[in-house]
Amino acid sequence: MMPRPPDRTEFQILADRAISRRRFVAGGTAAFVASALPPGTATASSRFEFEPVATNTRDTVTVPTGYRWHVVARWGDPLWSDGVPFDPQTRGTGASQERAIGDNNDGMALFRSGGRNILAVNNEYVNLDIICGNRASGKPETADDLRKTKAAHGVSVMEIAQANGRWGVVTDSPFNRRITAETPMAITGPARGHALLRTEADPGGIRAKGTWNNCGNGRTPWGTYLACEENFNVYFASSDDSFERPAALKRYGIHMKDRYGYGWARGDERFDIAKHPNEPNRAGYIVEIDPLRPDSTPKKRTALGRFKHENAELVIAESGRVVVYMGDDERGEFLYRFVSDGLYVEGGDNSDLLDSGRLFAAKFDDDMTGRWIELTPAATGMNSQAEICIHTRLAASAVGATTMDRPEWVAAHPKKAEIYCALTNNKHRGKKPNKGGDPTPVGGPNPREANRYGQIVRWAPDGGDHESDRFRWNLYVLAGNPAVHLDAYAGSKNIDAGNMFSSPDGLAFDSNGLLWIQTDGNYKNKSDFAGMGNNQMLIGNPETGEIRRFLVGPRECEVTGTAWSADRKTLFVGIQHPGERGGSSHFPGGGDTVPRSSIVAITRDDGGEIG
Ligand code: FEO
Ligand code: CA
Ligand code: CA
């Protein structure tokens, strides 16, 4: 069971929210912070078999002595021999991008079929300045630019193979597939056909076009891939300044203006909310994809709710029901759980398990317990389960769920019922309500005002049963900078100058029960972030609290996405948006090449297993 007696005792400090708030706001937080976890630097008993990597600001991937890495795949690499190699002058065309790996690889999973390896990877978004770096504006200017940026989103499915120790893409594999913002997909589950999903192009509300901004991922034991739609909102805009946005569109961050300059609303009417106000309701879901059937239709599983999905961590409860944990990555939004009605049967037909079940939002109490509140019409005052699945944020607000510091990836311990979630940061904590007006008080698992470094919360369901509606929680780590701060922003006791980081984001457990932590933090390496260097990946020992840095990424990147080879001898890691601010990165090509998001493979020099 999770919280060991010392943790629990120390965490009683949080039971009095007033005290914890006073301490945090006043900055006199050392007592709490120091006791957030037991001592975590017990090198004598360390389970880590490597020397920690020091922070740096180099434009490369740095791994520990005894490990090596190589590039497997990059944005723009063609998946078929009729594609064209990446052209740094044009940065590709619509046609070439449709036959090539998308941009900004994020969550991923490796599947096996007859001894072959099929990697599915999300292409979350594009770096406009880079992909349109051939345009003076650094933005899409032509219809083909729009086609290109849409094609660079979505999911890439590719067979990969290892030869002479190096992994690479199998060009023309029958498994290779691109799923983009144009790919036809089905809408399934409770919201299928609901009036809020009906549009001129799809009067039945049953068929969507495309997926975009797929951030983290999930995978199911029946062999499918889950792509999670996150910041789907920023692609919509209004051509009519007098258009009155319904409250729900505002809650979901659908703006009147094209804030990032994607230009999709200008070039493709379905992204124009003045003309098609229901179109945004058809995005923000989890999409289930069969990676071994390139002709299969992806399915938007509305039963899992609609919000800015980060990832989907799926476990099978003792009953056989499927339990999916999911975060909504927005300041002051919520953490969710889905429990299927049907039971998982190994080798059986599990294809529609994600279409019916119960959806819950988490409420954390300061006494270190919490509960899952079911989102039903009775509890939320909403008209139907379909409406709850579309306006999930509104439903969770109605039941008083706990506003969180941007829930990112959730990861379930492989050997016990214990779940971890990265709460990446939240500058509005204690200062501003969320977009629904829900207060965001300092306290509970979100204990620092204007939280700039993030933390990882963990919880254990009562009785070790993922279906239990009650749980106990504590904080695994509070990230911070002890070289700059002495207060709460120094971080918890298991953070020191040698392992500090900010904004935990990607989380994944390896088969040994160690937690891999990837960061999407501020990489300016000064003031609050002095000494932290580029974004990184660390490994945490859940039992001792020890955290050790394993990898540092290139400049201006985020490290996101993990997958292990079947023999556990290769760890695939995503390097997303190197050089996103322009100029300082040429990863992975070096010289003066265009920086390209990449998937890298990490192996041990001695050929041993990694996790
Ligand atoms: Fe796409 Fe919440 O990170
Ligand atoms: Ca993320
Ligand atoms: Ca993030």
Establish whether residue 63 lines the binding site of ligand 1, counting it when its CB lies within 6 angstroms of any ligand atom. no
Q: How far is the CA of 310 from the centre of ligand 1 (A)?
A: 6
Report the alpha-carbon distance of residue 372 to residue 363 in Å, rounded: 6
**Is 196:258 a contact under the CB 8 Å cutoff?**
no
| pLDDT given at position 82 | 98
Q: How far is the CA of 600 from the centre of ligand 2 (A)?
A: 18
Tell me, what amino acid is at 152?
Answer: A
Q: How far is the CA of 575 from the centre of ligand 3 (A)?
A: 13
Q: How many residues does the chain have?
A: 611
Nearest C-alpha neighbor of 102 from the set 574, 610, 589: 574
Pairing between strand 184-188 and 299-301? parallel
Establish whether residue 121 lines the binding site of ligand 1, counting it when its CB lies within 6 angstroms of any ligand atom. no
The residue whose CA is least distant from atom 1 of ligand 1 is 215
Q: How far is the CA of 226 from the centre of ligand 1 (A)?
A: 15
Q: What is the DSSP letter of 278?
A: T
Q: How far is the CA of 376 from the centre of ligand 3 (A)?
A: 30
Report the alpha-carbon distance of residue 576 to residue 554 in Å, rounded: 10
Q: Which ligand is nearest to the CA of 507?
A: 2
440-444, Cβ contacts within 8 angstroms, sequence gap of 24 or more: 440/331, 440/332, 440/403, 441/17, 441/21, 442/20, 442/21, 442/24, 442/25, 443/14, 443/17, 443/20, 443/21, 443/366, 444/14, 444/17, 444/364, 444/365, 444/366, 444/402
DSSP assignment of 3-36 = S-HHHHHHHGGGGSHHHHHHHHHHT--HHHHHTS
Atom of ligand 1 nearest to the CA of 215: 1
| pLDDT given at position 45 | 62
Tell me, what amino acid is at 406?
Answer: R
Pairing between strand 286-289 and 225-229? antiparallel
Q: Which residues contact 584 (CB under 8 A, 6 or more apart)?
A: 59, 555, 556
Reported in sequence order, the residue ranges of 452-607 that DSSP labels E, i.e. its strands, are 455-461, 470-478, 504-509, 515-519, 536-540, 547-552, 558-564, 570-576, 598-604
529's enclosing H/E stretch is: none
Pairing between strand 515-519 and 407-412? unpaired
Q: How far is the CA of 409 from the centre of ligand 3 (A)?
A: 9
Q: How far is the CA of 526 from the centre of ligand 3 (A)?
A: 20
Q: Which residues of the chain have pLDDT under 70?
A: 1-45
Establish whether residue 124 lines the binding site of ligand 1, counting it when its CB lies within 6 angstroms of any ligand atom. yes
Establish whether residue 405 lines the binding site of ligand 1, counting it when its CB lies within 6 angstroms of any ligand atom. no
Atom of ligand 1 nearest to the CA of 231: 1
Task: Return the half-sphere exposure (C-beta side, CA atoms, 13 A cut-off) of residue 164.
Answer: 0
Q: How far is the CA of 541 from the centre of ligand 1 (A)?
A: 24
Report the alpha-carbon distance of residue 214 to residue 203 in Å, rounded: 25
Atom of ligand 1 nearest to the CA of 124: 1
| Residue 517: both structure tokens together | 């932590």
Atom of ligand 1 nearest to the CA of 408: 2
| Residue 203: both structure tokens together | 């009067």
Establish whether residue 258 lines the binding site of ligand 1, counting it when its CB lies within 6 angstroms of any ligand atom. no
Phi, psi values for residue 587, rounded to 5°: -75, 140
**Is 579:585 a contact under the CB 8 Å cutoff?**
yes
Reported in sequence order, the residue ranges of 261-392 that DSSP labels E, i.e. its strands, are 286-289, 299-301, 313-316, 321-327, 335-343, 357-364, 369-374
Q: How far is the CA of 230 from the centre of ligand 1 (A)?
A: 7
Atom of ligand 1 nearest to the CA of 520: 3
Q: Which ligand is nearest to the CA of 230?
A: 1
Q: What pTM does this model have? A: 0.94
Q: How far is the CA of 376 from the centre of ligand 1 (A)?
A: 27
Report the alpha-carbon distance of residue 530 to residue 462 in Å, rounded: 41
Atom of ligand 1 nearest to the CA of 106: 1
Establish whether residue 310 lines the binding site of ligand 1, counting it when its CB lies within 6 angstroms of any ligand atom. yes
44: burial class by Cβ within 10 Å (0-12, 13-18, 19+)?
exposed
| pLDDT given at position 38 | 43
Q: Which ligand is nearest to the CA of 424?
A: 3
Q: Which ligand is nearest to the CA of 574?
A: 2
Nearest C-alpha neighbor of 549 from the set 57, 40, 62: 62
Reported in sequence order, the residue ranges of 20-173 that DSSP labels E, i.e. its strands, are 67-74, 105-113, 116-123, 154-163, 166-169
Establish whether residue 230 lines the binding site of ligand 1, counting it when its CB lies within 6 angstroms of any ligand atom. yes
**Is 78:96 a contact under the CB 8 Å cutoff?**
yes
Atom of ligand 1 nearest to the CA of 424: 2
Report the alpha-carbon distance of residue 322 to residue 344 in Å, rounded: 7
419's enclosing H/E stretch is: strand 419-423
Atom of ligand 1 nearest to the CA of 310: 2
Report the alpha-carbon distance of residue 25 to residue 575 in Å, rounded: 36
580's enclosing H/E stretch is: none
**Is 356:484 a contact under the CB 8 Å cutoff?**
no
The neighbourhood of ligand 2, an ion, using CB within 5 A, equals 408, 505
Atom of ligand 1 nearest to the CA of 327: 2
DSSP assignment of 154-211 = EEEEEEEEEETTEEEE-TT-TT-EEE-TT-EEEEESTTTT-GGG--SS-TTS-EEE--
Establish whether residue 329 lines the binding site of ligand 1, counting it when its CB lies within 6 angstroms of any ligand atom. yes
Q: In angstroms, what CA-CA distances link 506 with 231, 442, 452?
A: 16, 24, 17
Q: How far is the CA of 232 from the centre of ligand 2 (A)?
A: 14
Establish whether residue 328 lines the binding site of ligand 1, counting it when its CB lies within 6 angstroms of any ligand atom. no
Q: How far is the CA of 476 from the centre of ligand 3 (A)?
A: 18
